[in-house]
Structure 1
Amino acid sequence: MKVDYLVAEIGSTTTLVTALSFTNGCEIVGQGKAFTTVLDGDVTIGLKNAIKDIENAIGESIQYKKMLATSSAAGGLKITVHGLVEDMTVKAAREAALGAGGIIKMVTAGKLRKSDIKKIKKISPNLIMIAGGTDYGERDTALYNSEIIKNENLNIPIVYCGNTANVEEVKGIFEGDELYIIDNVYPRVDEINVEPARKIIQEVFERNIVKAPGMEQIRKMVDGAIMTTPGAVMEATKLLYENIGDLVVIDVGGATTDVHSVTEGSKEILDMLVIPEPKAKRTVEGDLGVYINSVNLISNLSKDEKQGLTDVQIQNNIKPIPDSEEEKKWSSALCKKAVELAIKRHIGVIKRSYGSGKNFLAYGKDLSKVKYIIGTGGALTRLSKGKEFLNMIKYIGSDLTMHPKEDAIVLLDKFYIMALAGVLSREDSELASVLLRASLE
């Protein structure tokens, strides 16, 4: 059988491959899964096994025009971020890195110290981001940090996204190195500009993913775009925003739980915000995964939620792909807890103010104008009660809130293709939109 695309999502535990045909509208020919084989030294083993799973299901071999992929199996793109003020330029650079699917390993504010350099060397990041200063504002910190990093000869790609006035000097400092100069992530007070940085981070990921252990053979099969899985989900979220409006997407995975939102929030809360938030925001909870980090989730279950079982007894029922009813029940319980904790960390808070001239101050992301709450990832889409768990994040009271309100509509990514649609949008955004609408019914 001939298909237009094979799209692989190479996860930390499972590789999912989807065969797409657009000859007669939008058709998912089949989906196959297999265990990810990065630790075996060759990710293509798992890819071939997943394709074979599709072929076994449809009863014939598959020929494809192009193969795309998203991946989180190689540890992602390790990034360190170095800016001027924690709540301003550092926050903006961090938001850019997270939105592109990067894994933030270190964040510093102000001038780097010797101990900071030791930590950077130990982390051995794939990318270093240097920010600092609004445009034509403070210059010295970013230049100082650039000199310090250059003197260490780390041979690591550098993204400079700070004060525009420093550009020529930064080019001189890093002459001969892999340097990316982009627009300032915090050009003016109360303005965050993260999209240019996100695009560059994605480019660096594509260059580096083929060098990661176990991923060296990936270009033998994948001839199209390769994105970070969370970066691809963010692209799909932004594409959906253009189609249906303000939304939040919750992705519960085996290793992490990611929350992506695209919304300006309400004007009322916007006027209270102490620190600006990006329109498109991603938070990643590296301690909330229903398999690899199940111990953390089990420890957060209440006595009633544990139903009289010990942590060890519950852990014995946690499998990468649950099969028995008991295994599904406990994976579902961890999924519920992951949603509860992850959304709590993503959404901001409103605090009463004393002496500021305002009655209340707001901190963090406002989801009160969200029209759609969307669930993706294996846990929410393949286990039962996914919609029930997502409905629980709504606020049904009448007080001022940053939670989605009662009229927000809950949808599930039925075909589990959010990441797929994100990477497909790089090739054809219209086809990706059609696919998303079909999956969300």
Structure 2
Amino acid sequence: MSVAVCVDVGSTYTKAAKIDLSGAGLIERTEVPTTSGTDVLDGLNAAVAAVGGHGAPLYVCSSAGGGLRLAVVGYESLVTAEAGHRVGLSAGAQVVHVAAGPLTGAAVTALRAARPDVVLLVGGTDGGDGEVLLHNARRLAAQRLRVPVVLAGNADVRPEAAAALTARGVPVTVTGNVLPRIGVLDPLPARAAIRDVFLRHVIGGKRLSKGSRFASLVRAATPDAVLAGVELLADRAGAGVLVVDVGGATTDVYSALVPDAEAETGPRRDVAGTLWRSRTVEGDLGVAVGADGTRAAAATEKLPPPGDDRDLAATAATIALRRHARGHSSGPGLPRTGGRDLRDVRIVIGSGGVLRHGGGDHVLGAVLADTAGGWALPDRARTIVDREYLLAAAGLLAVDHPAAAAGLAGTLLG
């Protein structure tokens, strides 16, 4: 029997799953406290040993140390900056800062204050205006920003922009434009580049481990792996999939929708493009560290004050899904963008400790009963709890073992 061990190193727990690659099934799983206070390899090694995974290939993702912090610098707030924001989230990043238009010294200071691990620099469609992209590249170079930059803007000026950055010692990765044409969002090249920069430059700098082995083992940020698993599941099911993952500090929402040709080319087309596989993260919603944020958000949303952990999880999930579906505003007075039409979703999956330990029906029931949330509810959705955290494991295996990964994701469907 061919096996692999998939490990998710989280900020609180390290979860390991031993997978039968030939049978595409879970053999054994465990979770242990993440040992970030000493060396995360201690917890990782303990988890691998607990599932009998010694000698098996390891597939590791991580959100320890705060995961991947991304800043987006774009041209217009409602077009390329918004497109970059959507792509950054889909790459598994926590978008900590968004800037639009020509950068000033004060704007660069604000960017620095956000402490990003990576800057996604975008701007202009291919063949369109390139001056703002060039200006921003030169400004970042002049300010001697030492944060790695992923350059994903106008193809006509990318070489000149990259040269300006490298001349001042700024690490830069050049990739395809996130918005090559108005209304056409191309996330995959930038998503791959962000993942590569995370692995080469970021994970080793988190000081999570004393040596280089941990950095060499990590293949993705955890949210990136989960989104890959969600995509596999949606493809296998041939239907829209919605996932809400309620954690102690944050609540993530993933949606993989069936593409709608009219939404891409018709009068409802979004100028920043439509991302059919998407993720949002709510850094103020959780059941432990984020509990106070959940209570405050409940008051803002006019929801009842949550009581126990199940109520906290239900409230966090409800608000996170409202935000995911309604979209967000880039500033006061600006319209909401990036909303999701979830009416045709057929599978709703819940994840997280509270749901796994008996709260799944309560949380997902509350989400699908949220008729006052300002979003159209899925009307024929099946609910599932990912009790074994299989989506991250499936996403980790997707490249090397696509059949096993698809089969593993499919086990959630029963």
Return the TM-score normalized by structure 1.
0.82
CA contact (8 A) 1:66 1:223 kept: no
Match of 2:387 in 1: 414
Structure 2 residues without counterparts, runs of 5 or longer? 328-335
Does residue 185 (structure 1) correspond to residue 178 (structure 2)? The answer is yes
Q: Helix, strand or coil for the counterpart of 1:87?
A: coil
Among candidates 123, 132, 137, match of residue 132 of structure 1: 123
Partner of 1:319: none
Deviates more, 1:174-183 or 1:150-159: 174-183
- Residue correspondence of structure 1 range 12-31 to structure 2 within 5 A: 12-22=11-21, 25-31=23-29
> Shift in Å at residue 183 of structure 1?
1.4
Per the alignment, residue 357 of structure 1 pairs with: none
Q: Secondary structure at the match of 1:74?
A: helix
1:56-83 CA distances to partner (integer Å, 9 max, x unpaired)?
Answer: xxxxx54232111111112112221111
Separation in 2, partners of 1:427, 1:121: 37
Work out the number of aligned pairs and report it.
395
* Gaps in structure 1 of 5+ consecutive residues: 56-60, 308-313, 315-329, 350-360
> Is residue 136–residue 163 contact of structure 1 (8 Å, CA) maintained in 2?
yes
Equivalence for 1:95: 86
Q: Does residue 59 of structure 2 align to residue 68 of structure 1?
A: yes
Residue of structure 2 in register with 1:340 after alignment = 318
Shift of 1:264: 4.7
CA separation of 1:304/1:173 partners in 2, compared to 1, >3 Å: closer, same or farther?
A: closer
How far apart, CA to CA, are the structure 2 residues paired with 1:394 and 1:29?
Answer: 32
Pick closer, same or farther for the CA change 1:217–1:337 going to 2, 3 Å.
farther
Contact 1:92–1:193 under 8 Å retained in 2: no
- Over 3 Å counting, the alpha-carbon distance change for 1:277 and 1:70 in structure 2 is same
State the match for 1:317 in structure 2.
none
Closer, same or farther: CA 202–189 of 1 in aligned 2, 3 Å: same
The counterpart of 1:251, out of the listed 245, 250, 258, is 245
SS at match of 1:64: coil
1:174 is paired with a residue whose SS is helix
Checking the alignment, whether the CA contact within 8 Å between 2:29 and 2:388 is kept in structure 1 is no
Q: Using a 3 Å threshold, how does the CA distance of structure 1 residues 440 and 414 change in structure 2: closer, same or farther?
A: farther
* Identity over aligned pairs, percent: 28
Aligned-residue RMSD, C-alpha: 2.7
CA–CA distance in 1 between the matches of 2:370 and 2:206?
Answer: 47
Note if 1:236 corresponds to 2:215: no
Instruction: From 289, 293, 297, give the equivalent of 1:296.
Output: 293
- Match for residue 279 of structure 2? 282
Q: Higher mean Cα deviation, 236-245 or 174-183?
A: 174-183
1:290-312: CA deviations, max 9, x gaps? 112112223455799558xxxxx
TM-score for the superposition, normalised by structure 2: 0.87
Regions of 4+ moved over 6 Å: 267-270
1:11 aligns with 2:10: yes
Q: Secondary structure at the match of 1:437?
A: helix
Q: Contact 1:161–1:181 (CA<8 Å) still a contact in 2? A: yes
Relative to structure 1, the CA distance from residue 153 to residue 334 in structure 2 (aligned partners, 3 Å threshold; closer, same or farther) is: same
Change (3 A) 1:260 1:383: same
| Residue in structure 2 matched with residue 352 of structure 1 by the alignment | none
